Structure 1
Amino acid sequence: MRDSDEFDDFYAESVLRVSGYVYALSGDRAETEDVVQEAYARAWQHWDKLSSHGDPEAWVRTVAYRIRVSQWRRVTARFRAHQRHGVAPDVPELSVDYVAIIAALREIAPSQRRAIVLHHLLGLSVEEVAQETGVAPGTVKAHLSRGRARLATLLAESGAYQGNSQALAREATSHV
């Protein structure tokens, strides 16, 4: 059983020294706080063994150092990747229709939304959707039909959809 009082005493006695050590390595106060917090969290997880260790503060310093090095390697790898590949291309603005459709999808039943996304956006057949969702193909067809009808209504009501909501409504009953 972990002794929280013993750990609290250890923490209070050593946190300033460990923080000073990590700050000297990183030069960044926020990073120091994150690294030290993670090191002490790991120490608490292993406190049963660590409390009998000859120098638990040395263990925490070693863990903090390794966390800091690991973070540095990730940052360095991202920097090298950025240098190799350059700045990511600009993402085109989302069309008004796309935003309206996504908003309308959020308003329909989850089972209908899933069926519509799998079938229309990912291009799965009704049978593939049925297999992935674990329902009968007839149920998938019902989800698709009801979902498209509801989408057509929501899009027509919102007025945000620039496409032809009447055509979408016709499409809702003709695809399945």
Structure 2
Amino acid sequence: MTQTPATPLPPPKERRRLREAASLTQAQLAEWVGVSRETVRAWETGRTSPRGRKREAYAKLLNDLAEDTPSTEETEAAVEAVAAVVPEAQPEPPHADIVVVEIPVPHTDPVPAPLTPAQAFDALYAFCSPSLVRQTYLLTGRRELARESMERAFQTAWQRWPEVAVDRDPAGWVRSVAYEYALSPWHRFRPRYRHPEPPPPAPADRALLTALLKLPPSYRRTLLLYDGVGLGLAEMAAETEASTPAAANRLLHAREAVAARLPELSDPAELHRRLTELASTGRLHAAKPPVVRFVGERRTVFWTRAAIAFTVTIIGATTLTVRTAPTHYEPPVPLGQRVEGVPARVVQGSLSEEEVRLRDRLRTGMTAGPERLLPLSR
């Protein structure tokens, strides 16, 4: 009997480097692979090694991370190449604005090659995820929920990629799904979201976040789309599924509520600037595109198998019911009929003389007499 060779894995230090390069914690990687956090820590230190399906899933995830994450030598070579071509390049700002800005990318080829679905998804993710995770943070005031909402929206987009790829505004499609997930009222019943997160350290940022969270969800979303993202009134109304007058009224009431708490934010330009600063205060990391696609595919496989198992259970229960059900009509048992002529039950009294003689005769006849059968020994 031959054994299948185990899937090769990188060294423990390389596993940890790939995870940290993808901005993943040990708890997140453990949840995606389906193990505990201590198990992932043991894998990265080299104390234990995964086996079976866990090893295959872990190896596939590391392979995706390795394809998306450049090595140290490649990074240094890329930096030297950029420095040689553009010696006066300015450093990139530490935080991106929440407003989506298109950055022109030069093409060396006159006719670029068509992108694969995975490459197109990765480009959309890299373009929208930094700003989207900050927008959802302003909606919820929770960093972990903001990251989860953004990743869940992109996982849904990858599952429905043929629909998203031909949409006129793929970024708006993903943003709408992320907002809906972030503002879901069911999060309040989850144990990890029952208690509020630590507020921003600056008093001004803390006051603005408190004022935003005091608004109704629909008003908060309208204010963020108009004064934060920069959408027009018609686009904002279409994304929130409201009429233009209703969206305008929500925006006015939201601005009035914020200005009542913070009078210095009555100017929309100042409000936009403060929203940008508040969104850039926390370090909101996002996972790499291959990780998001891998988790989305695993979730799709899981729910597909669950649907198949549920369907098989229903078919089995229906078959068992059909086989055990009666094939003809069985009338119910009728009620009992009254029987007459039965003597009434009486209490037993003393024996008569004839009954006493019969009893004595039976007793003597059973204990002695020629009629009694005796066993014979052989």
* Range of TM-score over shorter length: 0.3 to 0.5
Q: Between Structure 1 and Structure 2, which shows a larger proportion of helix residues? A: 1
- If the length of structure 2 is used for normalisation, what is the TM-score? 0.19
Q: Name which one, 1 or 2, has greater alpha-carbon Rg.
A: 2
- If the length of structure 1 is used for normalisation, what is the TM-score? 0.40
